[in-house]
Amino acid sequence: MTLENLANTLREHPFLQGFTAEHIDKLAAMASEVHFGKGALIFREGDESSFFYLLLTGKVALETNAPGRIVRIVTLGPGEEVGWSSLTPSHSKQFQARSLEETQALAFDGVRLQHACEEDCRFGYTLMTAMLRVVAHRLQSTRLQLLDMYSPVS
């Protein structure tokens, strides 16, 4: 994908709504296109991977190891994000990510993103605001799952 194509793809991604053209160009320069085959592990729980992904096609599951089984926490698809913890000081992955279908994504090195945020505070604020939206949405969804609202007791 050329730099121009990357910028066009990024512009259409819901995560980047509200980003300026300059910010999009900055991100395009840091993006690389990646593909994961069906069933591929993108990262494992505990991995020191610092990559953050914007999903373009396919489906990815976040999973955790419970004793004797793997529990699927959430599935994510086009227009969503995987690996937001790469923007936190610890890069250790708390879940494992598995590609459930042929998946295409744009990958960003979290360390480079953090440096870019430190160098350009306005860019950093915009990126962290977008990230906060993702985290808040995930937190709300997790709370709803924990409510077990479909149970007869609820």
Partner 1 sequence: MPVAELEREQTTGNEMTPAMARVAQVRKETYDTFTLALEPSGGEPFPGFTPGQFSMLYVYGNGELPISISGDPEDHARLLYTVRSVGKTTQALVSSQPGDAVGMRGPYGSHWPLKVARGKDVLIVAGGIGLAPLRPAIHYIMRHRADYNRLVVLYGARSPRDLIFRKQLEDWGRLPDTQVLSTVDYGGLSWRGHVGVVTGLFRLVRLQPFHTVAMICGPEIMMRYVIWELEARGMPPGDLYLSLERNMKCGIGFCGHCQYGPNFICKDGPIFPYHEVRSWFGRYEL
Return the ∠ at Cα 138 (arms to 5 and 59), rounded to 5°.
50
Site string for partner 1, 44-73 (x = CB under 8 A): ---------------x-x-x-----xxxxx
Q: Which of 41, 128, 134, 147 binds partner 1 (CB under 8 A)?
A: 147
Site string for partner 1, 70-109 (x = CB under 8 A): xxxxxx-x-xx-------------------x---------
Which of 48, 49, 39 is CA-nearest to residue 70? 39
Dist CA 32 CA 27 (whole Å): 10
Which of 13, 9, 99 is CA-nearest to residue 59? 99
**137 C-beta neighbours (distance < 10 Å), count:** 12
Q: Which of 21, 67, 90, 148 binds partner 1 (CB under 8 A)?
A: 148
| Shortest distance (Å) from residue 123 CB to partner 1 | 25
User: DSSP secondary-structure letter at 143?
Assistant: H
| Shortest distance (Å) from residue 72 CB to partner 1 | 4
Closest to partner 1 by CB, 63 vs 105, is 63
Dist CA 12 CA 15 (whole Å): 9
Site residues, partner 1 (CB under 8 A): 14, 59, 61, 63, 69-75, 77, 79-80, 100, 140-141, 144-145, 147-152, 154
